[in-house]
């Protein structure tokens, strides 16, 4: 009888365990989301753990169950959100195109039209945080370097593919152009934030699109 009871209790025990895992996963995600937006609004050093906990709707104990400290939470939030943004906005679209110049143009238009959840007057979260933390924290610097390299690499690989398909001039250096694309994008976002003027971005986009067209055969 004891054996039968033990077997009968197994599904219930599994359900309880699965429920706890699901709640833990939701809490962790809520902390990552709240941390990212707090860091975006305030910067990493000024971000408030109490505010993150409040926005996540959890307890301080829950925070420290998932992350040992603010530094670990910040790195995880950056990797979760910035990494996903670059993957979804740049890397995946460019990996499946034979006409990278048109694809890059469409991506920049999405930024200009504010379709990507980034407030231009507040600046690019990637740029804001890399400028704040890269010179003072090796872990953040290492992550930003890796992400920049993946971003540039995806553009360069797409340009090489475009050269093979005849949509990009063969005399350009894909690595150099990829670096210029990223640098131009980051530079314009910095100017928009500094001037608090969206027209800066619109004006730069016009000139940038002309440059892209000059790279066609």
- Residue-wise pLDDT tens digits, 10-20: 555 444 444 55
The predicted pLDDT at position 67 comes to 96
Over residues 67-95, the mean pLDDT reads: 95
Residue 38's Cα: distance from chain center in Å? 15
CB 35 within 8 A of CB 80: no
Rounded to whole angstroms, how far apart are CA atoms 201 and 190?
A: 10
CA angle 203, 115, 183 (to 5 degrees): 50
What's this model's pTM, rounded to 2 decimal places? 0.84
Percent share of the chain, pLDDT over 90: 78
Rounded to whole angstroms, how far apart are CA atoms 54 and 171?
A: 55
């Amino acid at each position: 009888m004891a054996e039968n009871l033990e077997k009968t209790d197994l599904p219930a025990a599994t359900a309880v365990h699965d429920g706890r895992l699901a709640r833990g996963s939701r809490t962790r995600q809520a902390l990552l989301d709240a941390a990212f937006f707090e860091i975006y609004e305030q910067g990493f050093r000024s971000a408030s753990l109490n505010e993150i906990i409040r926005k996540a709707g959890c307890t301080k104990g829950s925070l420290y169950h998932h992350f040992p400290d603010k530094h670990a939470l910040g790195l995880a939030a950056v990797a979760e959100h910035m990494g996903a943004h670059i993957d979804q906005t740049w890397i995946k679209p460019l990996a499946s195109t034979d006409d990278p110049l048109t694809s890059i143009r469409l991506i920049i238009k999405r930024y200009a039209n504010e379709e990507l959840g980034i407030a231009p007057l507040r600046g690019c979260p990637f740029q804001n945080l890399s400028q704040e933390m890269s010179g003072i924290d090796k872990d953040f610097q290492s992550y930003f370097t890796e992400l920049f390299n993946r971003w540039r690499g995806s553009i360069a690989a797409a340009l090489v593919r475009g050269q093979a398909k005849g949509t990009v001039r063969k005399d350009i250096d894909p690595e150099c152009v990829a670096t210029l694309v990223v640098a131009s994008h980051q530079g314009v976002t910095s100017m928009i934030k500094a001037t608090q003027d969206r027209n800066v971005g619109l004006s730069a986009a016009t000139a940038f699109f002309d440059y892209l067209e000059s790279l066609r055969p």
